[in-house]
Chains A and B, each alone.
Chain A
């Protein structure tokens, strides 16, 4: 039972749906925000496999640009988890996010920017079934994202710290640190009324502290995983299709834990 809760804490919560990303990285946050009074609708399918566990998630997120620098968004996921032959599905953890771009430098055909963001992941999923869809805790993510976008090359970097709440089972879930870098490239200078295709590759690092119970570290928790993540964005004006796959290239997980096989993502995005 303990393992179920720990697994739920590691899997169902790694997904990162962030609106206002039509021209940002696929698996990590970028500094992009929406124009003032802009609305973005984002529908995303995510699948991950890890040992004998498979997770499918369909999430819808909507974002609103309060100003050109300040974005708020909400995310509603539907999750299906299969583990050891058992499966469970239902509404996942609803997340609320705010992002503020506090620095921007514009030049001809180039933009550099930095944003800070906070995301609250609420314990709204069923966590009593087997396998649990949630770890039974509210979590908070804080982070910074930098981006340098030009007509051909794009570069991004971000860091996030996730404060994981204590689970209903009394487990102090280990906090997590994410560090990401991404490069994007398009073969020609974009034209406004033509489709824009951007190729991308990311390096995603995830470090998880050991979880504890009654001040005792749990052996089969925590560790580091690094993913190499190729992907692409196809966009036409206010509509974008994004897809990519995260492939594990390094792992150093404590104790006896399954390592990730892959994670894949497909998203549709539209601005209004």
Chain B
């Protein structure tokens, strides 16, 4: 019974993790404020399959939630960050999304 309650609780409170999605964590240099990072959000959100975007300025991590099948080429990311006025430093993938989903 306790296990069942635990499972239900985890399911109910794991609303920010989307099924069939993944999170791309990209290291960025040069991002210092929300107003200046908007160009990044706009460029990512224009890509089909991208569902959420966030920036942690302190750690310099841009988080992008996408459909599971979306993969970015490194060259594509270098260009996208460059055209937004920043420097791309690398990417990691996480199985679940934690960033706010755009509606």
Contacts and interface: CB of A to CB of B under 8 A. Distances in A.
B57 A151 contact: yes
B100 to A, nearest CB: 7
B57 A33 contact: no
Given A34-B39, A35-B43, A68-B85, A196 B60 contact: no
Given A108-B60, A109-B60, A189-B58, A33 B35 contact: no
B39 A35 contact: yes
Interface string A1-32: 00000000000000000000011000000001
B84 interface: yes
B83 interface: yes
Classify the interface of chain A: helix, strand, loop or mixed: loop
Nearest to A234: B35
Contacts of B86: 106
Nearest to A149: B32
A111 B86 CA distance: 9
Nearest to A269: B35
Interface of B: 29-43, 54-58, 60, 82-87, 100
The 9 lowest CB-CB distance pairs between A and B, nearest first, are A35-B39, A106-B30, A36-B83, A106-B29, A22-B35, A106-B87, A235-B35, A111-B30, A238-B38
